[in-house]
Amino acid sequence: ELKVEQNPLFLSMQEGKNYTIYCNYSTTSDRLYWYRQDPGKSLESLFVLLSNGAVKQEGRLMASLDTKARLSTLHITAAVHDLSATYFCAVIQGAQKLVFGQGTRLTINP
């Protein structure tokens, strides 16, 4: 059974700092997604990573995928308050459904 684990689960950081969220998954998959959820809201898609070594960037967020290590990272550069949210990674299981990590609640303090 596919398991997806994120760490850390909670992250409090200061504006201007860099940090990385890690997503490990237990079985082979050919794509990985990152989502963002604001408090009380639904999830919105951030990135899809389709192959080993894939890297996607949007503003201060950069995601990468290492399929051999079964690891994806979401790197935050020079964090700003607007990036405070919960971030989820998700991996396809059996071509039928996504399995989500537990989510990382990111709080960025001025």
- Specify whether the CB–CB gap between 64 and 54 falls below 8 A: yes
31: contact with another protein by CB under 8 A: yes
57: contact with another protein by CB under 8 A: no
97: contact with another protein by CB under 8 A: yes
109: contact with another protein by CB under 8 A: no
Q: In 3-state terms, the chain is what percent helix, strand and coil (to 5)? A: 5, 60, 40
SS3 107: strand
Judged by beta carbon, residue 31 or residue 70, the one nearer another protein is: 31
Which of 39, 42, 51, 68 forms a contact with another protein (CB under 8 A)? 42
Judged by beta carbon, residue 80 or residue 92, the one nearer another protein is: 92
Which of 13, 48, 54, 62 forms a contact with another protein (CB under 8 A)? 48
